[in-house]
Amino acid sequence: MNKPQVTCFGEILWDIFPTHKVIGGAPLNVALRLQSLGVDVTMISSLGEDGNGKKALNYIAENGLNIDYVQLDEHLETGHVIVTLDDKGSASYEIFKPVAWDNIQLTKSNLELVSNSAVFVFGSLVCRENNSKETLLKLIEKANYKVFDVNLRKPDYTVDLILQLMKKADFIKMNDEEIDEVCETLGKTFSSIEEQIEFISKETNTNTICVTKGGDGAVLFQDDKFYNNDGYKVVVEDTVGAGDSFLASLITKLLVEKMEPQMSIDFACAVGSLVASKKGANSKINSEEIEGLLKS
């Protein structure tokens, strides 16, 4: 079999807005952006045998993603989420369950896929039901390099679970609100994100951590060094998927292309900003737009 560079695991769902619906789910958003950046990527998930499932499968295939590892569940429906945007374009979510991606089955083929992949990307939301959680934990054991995308969606997590997954990861990505919550729950107060990151790094024995700060950019910590980007000024359309595109871009530059950390985080912030300036998680962006922001 071909050896993909990256495998993403987790939810595929439809984000339902007041006026329209778009395909989403953080791991799928990451996979689609990786694909658009030229990375060989595969998605492991599950869809229902319903209209939304068929539409999702068609969309994924049309965008060049391998659908061989997307399971079809005859009992559970395809995932969907009601998205509400505030006046600043920030999103809140009502996530329905149980749905097909809560029941991703462990198979010989997806074990083999993960063991042959250079990078394995997973989030925390997929652990809300036991079947997918157990599958994830087995796949993590086979993974070569593990990227954990922290997605704190109440009430579908505990900090104990987040810590368990952090300790299994080689690379942790979260946003500033998420690292605040984790540190506070552990009874720790710090005066800077850098101190928070150093604490999480020691607590979890993880040497690569990235924290996004919305419009204010991001901080990357790798091998005891910090790299910062203060963000790029754009007019925000909606923030859905901006963090996922940021992560995909960072994985592409830092882990696949082996670009140095500062250039990697600059590129990732530019892509994330561009996605926030357009509608939907998987909006089209081009290299000229990215270059324009990097030069600004």
Q: What CA–CA distance (Å, rounded) separates 196 from 232?
A: 24
- Answer yes or no: are the C-beta atoms of 61 and 67 closer than 8 Å: yes
Q: How is residue 61 written in tokens?
A: 């295939």
Closest C-alpha to 137, from 124, 151, 153, 150: 124
CATH superfamily of 6-295: Ribokinase (3.40.1190.20)
Mean per-residue pLDDT of the chain: 91
Q: What CA–CA distance (Å, rounded) separates 258 from 122?
A: 21
Interval 232-291: pLDDT, tens? 887 776 666 788 999 999 999 999 999 999 999 999 999 988 877 667 667 778 788 778
Interval 100-152: pLDDT, tens? 999 999 999 999 999 999 999 999 999 999 999 999 999 999 999 999 999 88
Please tell me whether the overall predicted TM-score, pTM, comes out greater than 0.95 for this model: no
- Answer yes or no: are the C-beta atoms of 176 and 147 closer than 8 Å: no
Q: Any idea which of 10-19, 196-205, 251-260, 275-284 has the lowest mean pLDDT?
A: 275-284
Q: What CA–CA distance (Å, rounded) separates 277 from 88?
A: 12
Look up residue 278 and give its DSSP letter.
S
Q: What CA–CA distance (Å, rounded) separates 63 from 240?
A: 19
Q: What CA–CA distance (Å, rounded) separates 271 from 287?
A: 9
Residue 231 has pLDDT above 90, yes or no: no
pLDDT at 1: 41
Return the top range by mean pLDDT from 17-26, 114-123, 153-162: 114-123
